[in-house]
Every structure is written in structure tokens, then in C-alpha cells.
């Protein structure tokens, strides 16, 4: 179907011109089907269950643009990952010339973002959408189209329930809402469609042909029973498999199950992959390698490894990398400079990084509660779906790797030829429901027990599974929330307490709010220091547990004794209460980590000591920042004077600095490393810096002339507040 | 010989708690009229004057006036253990200790060793206060707690109509307004303001829980005097202000 035919469905020609300007002239079959089925009549909701890269986004674009031009109102586009919001923003920008305004709303969970009133398309995550609902953002009532990208993630135990509840709430808020669910091909897409009262478009069509197969003993057996041999370039089988497309100017993407494996594989193959890069590429890769090496103030081991790989045309990609490094790797891969990329399966769910050949080395992985378990078919298919670059490759290949003849048949039957699993709502867990029960009452979606049950009956869970299960879990959550005074019962009505309302707005787990509140009450009447507050946040479910190795036991216990006077929660008995004892120690490990961080221990050392990646530090710091903010907010509510200590700690944690650097860190462009260098050179206060000139400042290590100038201009006209008043003595009078 | 009994320990507990953070050790004079503690903190920023009349005690016996050197910090830790028990205080001059007994179903005895205190003359500034306001202590203590949330110092200000207690900080501002009508007495000859450290005030307001009223004597950039009073006791503070340097 040619895009010109869209006129018949009411798409104005100026929109079609925009499409053509961006190289879109024909609609893919699933896109055409959606249009034929009446998507653009703006009367019905739709669920589109098609493979990756088969043009789902364009379907959403057509729907949103039509809706905005025809009848005004807003469109909310929910992406599964924050990192994808920017990608979508770039794609939707093309409609700005039609006067359509596009914005991103992610991040700060304690704001209603009223400025969004001025935008037509708002891209957000399900968590942020949920938080906007909790802040009762008025413009949410103007949302007419809701796009839920990767709606099959309802299946995800961690984030699925939020997506599901957010959809239910938005539909409740606006019964006329048109929902467009974009899904991977799943077995029960029809169930999702019936839940949403939507038409289903299901298709296996792909823009690039996909061949799936299993590798064993030098050959690949494909799903069409054909067999091809893999040229033995080296004596490593996986290397041969990965390098074969590279020889013909293609790329390979290799999925392995741990971060360490991604690094090892990329390093190993880098010795061979460097033979496949041209002279011009060598130069470009060298620059990229330097860039990746220097994203942090001081390069860590991982930075060095990554840089070394990139120079040779390989790379690894996992959540432990700094965000900037991930971006660099992704871009270099898209530009076909990096030839072989090894990644953990999380990549398949996120960024769009197609390669001619996808190799899936591991089909098992470690699950915290289950041990080694099989990766679901749905996920393996998602990984396979990354094979084949539209416009570049004629076909894509997805290959699993077998270690025995039997395993080859197993993989063929259970993965290659198998249908993806059905998805199930994970809403009925108490840990999940207490969050949503609280939010539902606080935002007024329900104010009685029956009201709660009625509200949750609109979720996918109730549609799909036994509502009685849900009811039991709701009642348990209610009990907890009332016992801890987040909610209270007034006759038949259930109302939130100020503590409950604030908890919901702060977007933290009620359990965390209770921990933080209890800690503050303990802190009120005793001596406290940073250890006290770090211990409080370390116990929250958000921050999660750090894995306690055998050798950590003694170190943590010793640390506990050393700081016992400042611990808000005492040391449990190992014998009477072994479970809590272990939990206590594991929390202390987190405390030790943050203590080291704010004592300015080098990142390199932290990574080694705590077995983390640079991205992990960033994630932990971001979470701790939010929890300390929440702690201060709860402190304000209960009028606990200690919150200034908490806020001071928050700044220290955010930047990883000792207290003495607090004045310097207020300058833009000055982080932990630069502040420390200034301090070492004798610039200890803003007053010291004010006295210095640009030339003197630029002599400090890591401070160039440009930054020195910026520092000076920041200080101009900014009166130093510190020390204006001094304490007098009685004898002065 | 000195012996005293308190059926309700509250008044002693709270006043020592209010004082002990500022002043480590002090000489307590005991006369037939009662107890009196007058001392200045080591930084010479605050002066404390505590008077417990003998009527505040259920029993009070003393032969001749004496001065007891007391480690207030330790006394405070001991008193914190009192709960609602009846308290007996007895001087054991032979061992130079003060015996403090808590009596309930059991009897617990603490020995508080007396210490040497130098009896230096306190230089109490002579001040004229243009304003004197008496308010319920609860209002003062709540405002100080509000101020602590945003800052480490607070401004007290009066005009003809109101008393203002306000604080400014990076986290926002707090202002508490107490209108004339809410005050028990309100004598203001001119508007005035002074700023004070919360470090001291937050201890001082601990006396609020036992006082019936607090009288605030305020001027322009001069110390503030706060008298917390009840029928048989008075706890009075003089606190030097924070003033603009240069």
C-alpha cells in the first residue's frame, strides 16, 4: 500500500508529505492491515502483535497524528525504558512542522509536570505515568490516545504491574480512551485485546527474512532443514560463527548470560576481529576507543577493557557500563564500525541494534530464587528478532549454540520451532499490591474496600485469572497500610493519612516509607551521623541487597561494632535470629559501600571491592539520592529536626564527597574529582576561589582556562552567604 | 545534711535535660529556700538560672547552706532512668557522693560523685528590654521545631501587633506569626528583632513541657531572655544573638 492511499483514511496530504520526506513511501503489511481494520477511524482500541522492526512505531504515529489533528487532546506514549524515550522523541520530531509538539517526561517522580499541558505527544515510562497520576496532573484528563509500547511486558514481575495498573487507571479516568497496545508476538495476544476491548492484528511478517537455526559441530541446521557449514577461520567455534558475516561486511551480535562473559568474549575475539577492519576504520575506532576510555574522571578497569576491545572492532554491552559508554557502543555498532558485539539479554528488550547474525550462546541463566533456569521462548525470540538490518541485509540469521547432538534437537524443538509462551499478569503479589492499593486510595480512584475491589477488577489480572486471589492480596495490603498508619478507616470509608499521601507521591514502596519513618523517629532523640541514615536507606526494598560473600561476613560485622553507637537498628543475635542477622549484614555492606563512596574512595577501588560496574555505582547513587530526598520529606511531615543532616548527606552521596567539599560542589562543572583537586591546592571555600584569578585557577589539575572562567563568572555577583553573621557572646553586651 | 524527696520527678528531669547539653558541670546551691543553679556555657553564649523552690519538693531538709559540684551530663543520664518513680536525694558527705534513689516496687540507688567546681563570678550583662511577651510555651517550642527543619538559626521579631518567629534556609522558609491576642501579656515599646542559634534554643525549649508559661524579653540585636515558669520553679535563660559581622 502506497502512503498516498492514506488520504482515503482521512490523513491530510501534509502529513503524507512528511512521511515521504522521511523516506516512507509504502506501508508494511501489518501497517496496511491496521489501517484497513479501521485504526484511523478513532473509534476503537487496537492491539498489534507483530515481530520487532516490522513498523509498529509508524502505526502509532499515524494514530496519534490523526487524533491530534482531528480532535485535539493529547497522546501519551509509554516506553518500556527511559533510554528509549529519546529515540522516540527523535522519530516524532518530524511532525513538529505540522505544529505538533512533542515532549519527554521521565525522571523526577515528585512533580506533576504542569508544563506538559502545552504538548500534544508526551513520551513517558509507565513509572512516570503512574507518578503523574499520583500527582493528579490535570492534563491527564485530556489524554485521548494511549500507546503502550511492548505491552507484553505486563508479564514482567518487576515492572509489569505498574504498566497494567497505569493502563487501567487511564481508562478509568477517560472511558473514551483509545488504547494502542504494541506487542511482541505472544501466544495470548487475543487475551490482551479482549481485556482492552480492542481489535487484534497479529502477524509474523518481517521486513527482513529471518532464518533461525542451531549450530553444532561446525554446521548450522536451519528451521527449513537446510544445513550449512561454517568456515573454520580459527580454532574457536564461536569465533568462526561470529566472524563469518564480518567477512562479508556484516556484523554479529552475541548474547551471553553474564556481564563477565560479555567482557571475556569481546576481549577474546578482539584479537581476531582486528584483522577485519580497514585502515579508515582503524582511525575512527581509535577515536571512539579514546572517548569510551575517558567518560569517567578516572578510567576504571572496565573502561580500559572496553576501550581495548573497541580499538580492535569488538565491544561488550551490559548494564554495568556507564550510560555514556553504552551510547558510544551503540552508535559505533550502528555505524558498522564495531563488528562483533557481545551483550546480556537485557539489550534485546531495549535498544534497537540489529545485526545480520545474532548468536545466542546461553539459553540458561541464573535466577535468584530458581537457580539455573531456561530463558523463556518469548525472550529468545526477542533476541532472534534483532537479526537482519532493514535496508542493509537481505536476510537475518539467528543461531542458538548446542554442545551436543541431543541438545541440538532440544533447542530446535523447544526454542526455534516453539511458539512463545502466553503472558500472565503478576499483579497478585502483596509486595506489588501494597504500592498500588495505596496509590489507588490516595488518588481517589477508590475510597472503600468494595471500591478497591471494583477498581482492580478492571486490571488484566482480574480479566485473566481468579479475582479471588487478588482480593485476598488486596486485603492483606490494606491491613499493612492501616497498621502502619498510611491509611485509616473512617466508618466504611478508607482515607489516606498525610503520611500515606506523601509516600504515594514520593513514589517509594510503602515498606520503605515505614522504614524511613521509623529510622527518623529513632534518630530524633539520639546522636546520629551519616552511618545512621545510610543504614536506614540500605534496608529499603528499592536499594536491594548486595550479595554477601563469605569473606564479607567478618568485615561487615567488624564495621557494625565499630559504628555500633550510630546504628539506628541494632545488631540482631546470630543464634536467635539468623535470618535477620544475615539481612542486617547485607544491609551493612550497602552502608559500607556508600560510606566508602562519600569518603572519596576511588571508583576503580570501589568496583573491585564490591564487584560492580561503573553503571552500577551510578544506579545506586541515583536510588540513594531519591531515598534520602524522600527521607527528608517524611522528616518534614513529622517535624523531625534531623532532616538537615539527611539533606547534607544527600548532597554528599550525590557527588561522592567528604563534607569539606560541600561549598565547592555548588559550582557548575565541578564534580568530586575536580573539587578535591581545588581543595588540595588550597581553594577550600568559595571565598578562596573568589580571591584567585582565572590564570591561577586554570593551573589546577583538570581545570582548564574555560572552566576557570566559568567558575569566576558563576561567583560574580553571588554574595557569599556563609559567615555573614557570627555568634556573639554575652560578654559583648 | 541534705535530703529531698520528689513524688513526681518530671520537673527535675526536664529542667536538667534542658540545661545539661549546654553546661557540663555547675555548682548547685542548696539553701532552706530550695535549689539554685546559675551557670554559663563554656562558649559564654548562654546563661542558665534554674530555681527550684522547696515547695516543689515533697520533703526538703537542709541544715546549713551548701554548694554541690555536679556533673550535669551524668546527672541527666541518671535521671533519664527515673521513669515515673519517686525520687529521693541524699547527700553522703563522707564519701562525697549524692545518693539518688528511685522508689517504686523496687528501689534503685545511683551514686553520683560530687566534683570540684570553681566559683567564678558570673558577669551578667545589664540589659534593658524594649519588649516583653508572655505566651504558652507550646507555641514557642513548636515554632522552634519548625525552624529547625529549614535552618540552624531563627529570627525573633515583634511589632505592635505580632510576634514573628522565622527562619530561612536552602530548603525553604518558615514563618510563625503569633498575634497579640494569643499572648498572655504583650508589652512592646518598639519593633525589634534579633537572630539566635537553634543549637541553643532547641535545648532550651525542652523546658516547655513542664512550664505553664514562657516570658520572652527581646530587643534589637541584644541577648534574649526567656523565663519558663511554673508555680514552684523558674528556669531562665539568657542567650546571646547572632549578629552581623563588620
Task: Answer whether B240 sits within 8 Å of A635, measured CB to CB.
Answer: no
Q: Which of A246-250, A373-377, A430-434, A640-644 is predicted with the least confidence, judged by mean pLDDT? A: A640-644
Chain A hits for B245, CB-CB cut-off 8 Å, are: 723-726
pTM summary value? 0.72
Q: Closest-CA residue in chain B for A647?
A: B171
Q: Could you tell me if B137 and B96 lie in one domain?
A: no
Task: Answer whether B145 sits within 8 Å of A641, measured CB to CB.
Answer: yes
Residue A405 and residue A221: Cα distance in Å, rounded? 11
Chain B hits for A732, CB-CB cut-off 8 Å, are: 240
Nearest chain B CA: its distance from A137 CA (Å): 24
Q: Closest-CA residue in chain A for B197?
A: A727
CB B194, CB B153: distance < 8 Å: no
Q: How confident is the model at residue A720 (pLDDT cuts 50, 70, 90)?
A: very low
Task: Answer whether B202 sits within 8 Å of A636, measured CB to CB.
Answer: no
Task: Answer whether A643 sits within 8 Å of B149, measured CB to CB.
Answer: yes
Options 1.10.10.10, 3.40.50.720, 3.90.198.10, 1.10.287.130; CATH of A430-496: 1.10.10.10
Chain B hits for A724, CB-CB cut-off 8 Å, are: 244-245
Question: Given a cut of 90, is residue B24 above it in pLDDT?
Answer: no
* C-alpha cell, B195: 537572630
Q: Closest-CA residue in chain A for B200?
A: A727
Domains A3-202 and A510-656 equal at CATH topology level: no
DSSP string, B111-131: EEE------PPP-------SE
- The DSSP 8-state label assigned to residue A294 in this structure reads T
Q: Could you tell me if B16 and B48 lie in one domain?
A: yes
Q: How confident is the model at residue A722 (pLDDT cuts 50, 70, 90)?
A: very low
Angle between helices A498-506 and A510-524 (to 10 degrees): 120
Residue B124 lies in a domain: no
CB A357, CB A252: distance < 8 Å: yes
Residue B10 lies in a domain: yes
Nearest chain B CA: its distance from A400 CA (Å): 56
Nearest chain B CA: its distance from A632 CA (Å): 9
Give pLDDT tens digits for A297-331. 778 888 999 999 999 999 999 988 888 898 899 99
Nearest chain A CA: its distance from B55 CA (Å): 31
Nearest of B71, B63, B64, B78 to residue B28 by alpha carbon: B71
Residue B245 lies in a domain: no
Q: Could you tell me if B159 and B213 lie in one domain?
A: yes
Give pLDDT tens digits for A403-446. 999 999 999 999 999 989 999 999 988 889 999 999 999 999 99
> Beta-carbon neighbour count of residue A462 at 10 Å?
23
Tell me how far CA of residue A419 lies from CA of A204, A222, A412, A422, in angstroms. Answer: 12, 16, 12, 9
Residue B120 lies in a domain: no
CATH code of the domain in which B233 resides: 3.10.150.10
Chain A hits for B152, CB-CB cut-off 8 Å, are: 644
Nearest of A270, A258, A424 to residue A346 by alpha carbon: A258
Give pLDDT tens digits for B196-223. 999 899 889 988 888 999 999 999 999 9
Look up the domain containing B81 and give its range.
2-113
Strands (E), A361-394: 364-367, 371-374
Rounded mean pLDDT, A619-628 = 94
Residue B42 and residue B22: Cα distance in Å, rounded? 8
Q: Could you tell me if B106 and B10 lie in one domain?
A: yes
Nearest of B61, B55, B48, B58 to residue B18 by alpha carbon: B48
Question: Given a cut of 50, is residue A719 above it in pLDDT?
Answer: no
Greatest mean pLDDT range, A223-232, A591-600, B42-51: A591-600
> Which B residues, 179 through 208, put their C-beta within 8 Å of a C-beta on chain A?
195, 197, 202
Q: Could you tell me if B148 and B90 lie in one domain?
A: no
Tell me how far CA of residue A252 lies from CA of A273, A398, A440, B199, in angstroms. Answer: 11, 10, 46, 65
Q: Could you tell me if B170 and B205 lie in one domain?
A: yes
Q: Provide the residue ranges of all domains of chain A, joining segments of one domain with +.
A: 3-202, 209-416, 430-496, 510-656, 660-731
Residue B38 and residue B32: Cα distance in Å, rounded? 17
Residue A188 and residue A428: Cα distance in Å, rounded? 19
End-to-end CA distance of chain B: 54
| Proportion of chain A above pLDDT 70, given as a percent | 98
Residue that terminates a domain, selected from B113, B147, B162: B113
Sign of CA dihedral A299, A301, A307, A311: positive
B149 contact A CB<8A = yes
Greatest mean pLDDT range, A702-711, A720-729, B152-161: B152-161
CB A590, CB A538: distance < 8 Å: yes
CATH class of A3-202: alpha beta
Q: How confident is the model at residue B21 (pLDDT cuts 50, 70, 90)?
A: confident
Chain A hits for B244, CB-CB cut-off 8 Å, are: 724-725
Nearest of A180, A163, A208, A140 to residue A57 by alpha carbon: A180
CATH class of A510-656: mainly alpha
Question: Given a cut of 80, is residue A272 above it in pLDDT?
Answer: yes
B47 contact A CB<8A = yes
> Beta-carbon neighbour count of residue B108 at 10 Å?
14
Q: Could you tell me if B105 and B144 lie in one domain?
A: no
Q: How confident is the model at residue B137 (pLDDT cuts 50, 70, 90)?
A: very high
Domain A660-731 has CATH 1.10.150.20: yes
Task: Answer whether A728 sits within 8 Å of B152, measured CB to CB.
Answer: no
Interface confidence (ipTM) of the complex: 0.85
Residue A592 and residue A661: Cα distance in Å, rounded? 20
Residue among A635, A639, A729 minimizing CB distance to B240: A729
Question: Given a cut of 60, is residue A460 above it in pLDDT?
Answer: yes
CA atoms within 13 A on the CB side of A96: 10
Question: Given a cut of 90, is residue A723 above it in pLDDT?
Answer: no
Residue that terminates a domain, selected from B113, B142, B170: B113
Task: Answer whether B149 sits within 8 Å of A729, measured CB to CB.
Answer: no
Residue B66 lies in a domain: yes
Q: What share of chain A is helix, strand, coil (3-state, %, to 5)?
A: 55, 15, 35
Rounded mean pLDDT, A467-495 = 94
B145 contact A CB<8A = yes
Q: Closest-CA residue in chain A for B122?
A: A731
Question: Given a cut of 90, is residue A285 above it in pLDDT?
Answer: yes
Q: Could you tell me if B162 and B203 lie in one domain?
A: yes
Q: Could you tell me if B137 and B55 lie in one domain?
A: no
Give pLDDT tens digits for A351-410. 778 899 999 999 988 876 677 889 999 989 989 988 988 778 889 999 999 999 999 999
Mean pLDDT of the residues in chain A: 91
Q: Could you tell me if B55 and B84 lie in one domain?
A: yes
Q: Could you tell me if B137 and B109 lie in one domain?
A: no
End-to-end CA distance of chain A: 91
Chain B hits for A727, CB-CB cut-off 8 Å, are: 43, 45, 197, 240, 242
- Can you say how many angstroms the Cα of residue A322 is from the centroid of all Cα atoms in its chain? 13
Provide the β-strand partners of residue B153: B197
Q: What is the pLDDT of residue A721?
A: 46
Task: Answer whether B243 sits within 8 Å of A726, measured CB to CB.
Answer: yes
Residue A556 and residue A569: Cα distance in Å, rounded? 14
Burial class from Cβ neighbours inside 10 Å (0-12, 13-18, 19+) for residue B243 reads middle
Q: How many independent structural domains does chain B possess?
A: 2
Q: What is the pLDDT of residue A360?
A: 95
Provide the β-strand partners of residue A294: none
Residue B171 lies in a domain: yes
Task: Answer whether B123 sits within 8 Å of A641, measured CB to CB.
Answer: no
Q: What is the pLDDT of residue A691?
A: 84
Chain B interface mutation, best of A110, A524, A730, A731, highest count of B Cβ atoms under 10 Å: A730
Task: Answer whether B149 sits within 8 Å of A723, measured CB to CB.
Answer: no
Residue B118 lies in a domain: no
Q: What is the pLDDT of residue A717?
A: 54
Greatest mean pLDDT range, A109-113, A344-348, B148-152, B207-211: B207-211
Chain B hits for A526, CB-CB cut-off 8 Å, are: none
Residue B125 lies in a domain: no
Chain A interface mutation, best of B240, B244, B246, highest count of A Cβ atoms under 10 Å: B240
Q: What is the pLDDT of residue B246?
A: 39
Task: Answer whether A727 sits within 8 Å of B43, measured CB to CB.
Answer: yes
Nearest chain A CA: its distance from B166 CA (Å): 15
Q: How confident is the model at residue A590 (pLDDT cuts 50, 70, 90)?
A: very high
Residue among A635, A725, A733 minimizing CB distance to B125: A733
Give pLDDT tens digits for B71-129. 998 999 899 888 788 899 999 988 899 999 998 888 899 999 999 887 777 888 888 99
Question: Given a cut of 50, is residue B136 above it in pLDDT?
Answer: yes
Q: Could you tell me if B82 and B173 lie in one domain?
A: no
CATH class of A209-416: alpha beta
CATH code of the domain in which B10 resides: 3.70.10.10
Residue that terminates a domain, selected from B55, B87, B113: B113
Burial class from Cβ neighbours inside 10 Å (0-12, 13-18, 19+) for residue B219 reads buried
Give pLDDT tens digits for A527-549. 899 999 999 999 999 997 888 88
Amino acid at each position: 500500500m502506497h502512503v498516498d492511499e492514506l488520504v482515503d483514511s482521512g490523513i491530510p496530504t501534509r502529513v503524507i508529505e512528511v512521511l515521504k520526506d522521511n523516506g516512507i513511501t509504502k506501508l508494511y503489511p501489518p501497517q496496511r492491515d491496521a489501517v484497513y481494520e479501521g485504526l484511523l477511524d478513532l473509534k476503537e482500541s487496537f492491539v498489534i502483535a507483530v515481530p520487532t522492526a516490522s513498523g509498529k512505531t509508524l502505526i502509532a504515529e499515524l494514530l496519534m497524528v490523526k487524533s491530534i489533528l482531528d480532535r485535539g487532546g493529547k497522546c501519551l506514549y509509554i516506553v518500556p525504558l527511559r533510554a528509549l524515550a529519546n529515540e522516540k522523541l527523535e522519530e516524532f520530531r518530524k511532525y513538529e512542522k505540522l505544529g505538533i509538539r512533542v515532549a519527554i517526561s521521565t525522571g523526577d517522580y515528585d512533580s506533576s509536570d504542569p508544563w506538559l499541558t502545552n504538548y500534544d505527544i508526551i513520551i513517558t515510562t509507565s513509572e512516570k505515568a503512574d507518578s503523574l497520576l499520583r500527582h493528579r496532573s490535570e492534563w491527564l484528563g485530556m489524554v485521548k490516545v494511549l500507546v503502550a509500547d511492548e505491552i507484553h511486558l505486563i508479564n514482567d514481575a518487576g515492572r509489569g504491574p505498574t504498566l497494567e495498573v497505569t493502563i487501567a487507571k487511564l481508562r478509568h479516568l477517560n472511558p473514551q480512551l483509545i488504547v494502542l497496545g504494541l506487542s511482541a508476538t505472544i501466544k495470548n495476544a487475543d487475551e490482551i485485546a479482549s481485556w482492552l476491548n480492542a481489535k487484534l492484528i497479529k502477524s509474523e511478517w518481517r521486513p527482513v527474512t529471518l532464518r533461525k537455526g542451531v549450530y553444532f559441530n561446525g554446521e548450522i541446521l536451519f528451521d527449513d532443514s537446510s544445513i550449512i557449514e561454517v568456515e573454520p577461520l580459527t580454532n574457536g567455534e564461536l569465533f568462526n560463527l561470529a566472524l563469518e558475516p564480518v567477512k562479508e561486511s556484516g556484523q554479529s551480535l552475541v548474547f551471553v548470560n553474564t556481564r563477565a562473559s560479555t567482557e571475556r568474549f569481546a576481549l577474546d575475539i578482539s584479537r581476531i576481529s582486528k584483522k577485519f577492519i580497514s585502515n579508515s576504520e582503524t582511525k575512527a575506532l581509535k577515536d571512539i576507543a579514546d572517548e569510551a576510555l575517558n567518560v569517567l574522571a578516572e578510567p576504571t578497569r572496565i573502561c580500559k577493557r572496553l576501550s581495548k576491545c573497541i580499538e580492535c572492532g569488538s565491544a561488550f554491552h551490559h548494564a554495568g557500563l556507564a550510560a555514556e559508554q553504552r551510547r558510544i557502543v551503540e552508535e559505533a555498532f550502528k555505524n558498522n564500525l564495531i563488528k562483533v558485539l557481545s551483550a546480556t539479554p537485557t539489550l534485546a528488550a531495549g535498544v534497537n541494534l540489529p545485526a545480520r547474525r545474532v548468536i545466542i550462546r546461553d539459553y540458561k541463566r541464573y535466577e535468584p530464587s530458581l537457580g539455573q533456569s531456561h530463558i523463556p521462548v518469548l525472550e529468545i525470540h526477542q533476541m532472534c528478532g534483532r537479526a537482519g538490518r532493514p535496508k542493509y541485509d537481505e536476510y537475518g540469521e539467528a543461531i542458538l549454540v548446542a554442545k551436543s547432538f541431543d541438545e541440538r534437537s532440544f533447542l530446535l524443538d523447544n526454542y526455534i520451532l516453539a511458539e512463545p509462551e502466553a503472558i500472565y499478569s503478576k499483579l497478585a503479589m502483596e509486595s506489588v499490591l501494597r504500592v498500588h492499593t495505596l496509590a489507588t486510595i490516595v488518588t481517589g480512584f477508590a475510597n472503600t474496600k468494595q471500591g478497591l475491589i471494583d477498581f482492580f477488577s478492571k486490571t488484566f489480572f482480574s480479566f485473566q485469572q481468579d479475582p479471588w486471589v487478588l482480593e485476598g492480596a488486596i486485603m492483606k495490603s490494606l491491613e499493612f497500610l492501616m497498621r502502619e498508619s498510611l491509611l485509616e478507616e473512617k466508618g466504611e470509608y478508607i482515607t489516606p493519612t498525610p503520611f500515606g499521601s506523601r509516600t504515594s507521591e514520593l513514589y517509594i514502596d510503602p515498606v520503605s516509607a515505614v522504614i524511613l519513618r521509623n529510622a527518623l523517629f529513632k534518630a530524633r532523640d539520639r546522636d546520629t551521623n551519616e552511618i545512621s541514615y545510610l543504614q536506614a536507606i540500605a534496608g529499603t526494598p528499592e536499594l536491594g541487597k548486595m550479595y554477601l560473600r563469605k569473606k564479607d561476613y567478618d568485615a561487615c560485622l567488624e564495621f557494625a561494632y565499630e559504628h555500633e553507637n550510630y546504628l539506628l537498628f541494632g545488631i540482631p543475635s546470630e543464634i536467635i535470629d539468623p535470618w535477620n542477622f544475615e539481612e542486617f549484614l547485607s544491609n551493612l555492606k550497602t552502608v559500607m559501600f556508600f560510606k566508602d563512596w562519600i569518603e572519596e574512595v576511588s571508583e576503580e577501588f570501589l568496583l573491585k571491592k564490591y564487584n560492580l560496574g561503573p553503571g552500577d555505582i551510578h544506579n545506586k547513587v541515583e536510588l540513594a539520592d531519591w531515598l534520602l530526598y524522600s527521607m527528608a520529606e517524611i522528616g518534614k511531615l513529622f517535624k523531625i529536626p534531623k532532616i538537615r543532616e539527611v539533606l547534607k548527606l544527600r548532597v554528599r552521596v550525590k557527588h561522592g564527597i567528604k563534607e569539606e567539599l560541600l561549598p565547592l560542589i555548588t559550582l557548575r562543572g565541578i564534580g568530586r574529582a575536580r573539587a578535591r583537586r581545588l581543595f588540595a591546592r588550597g581553594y577550600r571555600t568559595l571565598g578562596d576561589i573568589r580571591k584567585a584569578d582565572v590564570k591561577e585557577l586554570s593551573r589546577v589539575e583538570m581545570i582548564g582556562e574555560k572552566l576557570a572562567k566559568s567558575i569566576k563568572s558563576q561567583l560574580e555577583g553571588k554574595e557569599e552567604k556563609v559567615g555573614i553573621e557570627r555568634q556573639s557572646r554575652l560578654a559583648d553586651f | 545534711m541534705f535530703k529531698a524527696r520528689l513524688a513526681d520527678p518530671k520537673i527535675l528531669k526536664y529542667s536538667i535535660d534542658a540545661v545539661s547539653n549546654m553546661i557540663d558541670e555547675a555548682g548547685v546551691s542548696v539553701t532552706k529556700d530550695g535549689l539554685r543553679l546559675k551557670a554559663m556555657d563554656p562558649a559564654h553564649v548562654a546563661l542558665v538560672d534554674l530555681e527550684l523552690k522547696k515547695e516543689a519538693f515533697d520533703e526538703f531538709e537542709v541544715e546549713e547552706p551548701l554548694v554541690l559540684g555536679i556533673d550535669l551530663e551524668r546527672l541527666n543520664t541518671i535521671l533519664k532512668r527515673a521513669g515515673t518513680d519517686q525520687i529521693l536525694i541524699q547527700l553522703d558527705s563522707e564519701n562525697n557522693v549524692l545518693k539518688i534513689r528511685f522508689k517504686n516496687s523496687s528501689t534503685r540507688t545511683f551514686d553520683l560523685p560530687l566534683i570540684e567546681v570553681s566559683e567564678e563570678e558570673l558577669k551578667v550583662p545589664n540589659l534593658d528590654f524594649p519588649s516583653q511577651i508572655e505566651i504558652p510555651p507550646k507555641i514557642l517550642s513548636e515554632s522552634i521545631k519548625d525552624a529547625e527543619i529549614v535552618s540552624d538559626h531563627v529570627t525573633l521579631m515583634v511589632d505592635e501587633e505580632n510576634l514573628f518567629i522565622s527562619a530561612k534556609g536552602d530548603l525553604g522558609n518558615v514563618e510563625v506569626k503569633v498575634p497579640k491576642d494569643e499572648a498572655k501579656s504583650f508589652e512592646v515599646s518598639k519593633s525589634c528583632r534579633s537572630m539566635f542559634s537553634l543549637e541553643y534554643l532547641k535545648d532550651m525549649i525542652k523546658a516547655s513541657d513542664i512550664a505553664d508559661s514562657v516570658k520572652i524579653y527581646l530587643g534589637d540585636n541584644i541577648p534574649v531572655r526567656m523565663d519558663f515558669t511554673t508555680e514552684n520553679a523558674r528556669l531562665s535563660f539568657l542567650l546571646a544573638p547572632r549578629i552581623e559581622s563588620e
